[in-house]
Amino acid sequence: MNRVAKKSQRQSGRSGSVRIISGQWRGRRLPVLDAEGLRPSTDRTRETLFNWLMTDVQDAKVLDVFAGSGVLGLESLSRYASDATFIEKNSQAVAQLKKNLALLKVQAVVHQGDALQVLAGLSQPYGLIFIDPPFQHDLVNPTLNALQQHGLIAEHAKIYVEQEANAPQLVLPEGLSVLKQKQTGQLSYYLLTA
């Protein structure tokens, strides 16, 4: 299928699905919006990530920045995170995420809007933070800075970053360090610790 056809299908709001890979909702498929810039993390990437986070998810306060489908936050809730806050700009993706939360009968906070503006209005620190922004927008470093500036990084927090392989190099705010990193084809992903 050519790029133009793919783009028009995305813009039409066509749906796909994601699968929760472990925890209380293991194997559950949830509908997600197929929209421009939304790329739910693959099962393989999530398996690697949640193997890294094995001892950090239960009872964690989770922040899913650039949530898209919300699959990272939902996977955390499936593995008994205490609560989750989602930030997403796309109104249709937000509506679908709210439907999925209702389907799973789970309470969570969902903010619609520009992530950097929403972060400025949050007040509690989070122990588990996911940063997986749309590609080619150079949002990772400004997001890390905003998280630190607004006191949103809990002591010993883990922060997962996923970005395109050719993205600008990570510039870590003081107090953060890289715990793990991996690169596959077009993706670079990192687990940071506070």
Q: Is the pLDDT of residue 13 over 70?
A: no
Please tell me the pTM assigned to this model.
Answer: 0.87
Burial readout 50-65 (b: 16 or more C-beta within 10 A, e: otherwise): bebbeebbeebbbbbb
Express as a percent the part of the chain with pLDDT over 70.
Answer: 89
- For the stretch 97-150, pLDDT in tens is 999 999 999 999 999 999 999 999 999 999 999 999 988 889 999 999 999 999
Confidence of residue 187 (pLDDT cuts 50, 70, 90): confident
Q: Is the pLDDT of residue 8 over 50?
A: no
Query: Which of 122, 175, 177, 130 has its CA nearest to residue 151?
Result: 122
Phi, psi for residue 175 in degrees, rounded to 5: 95, -10
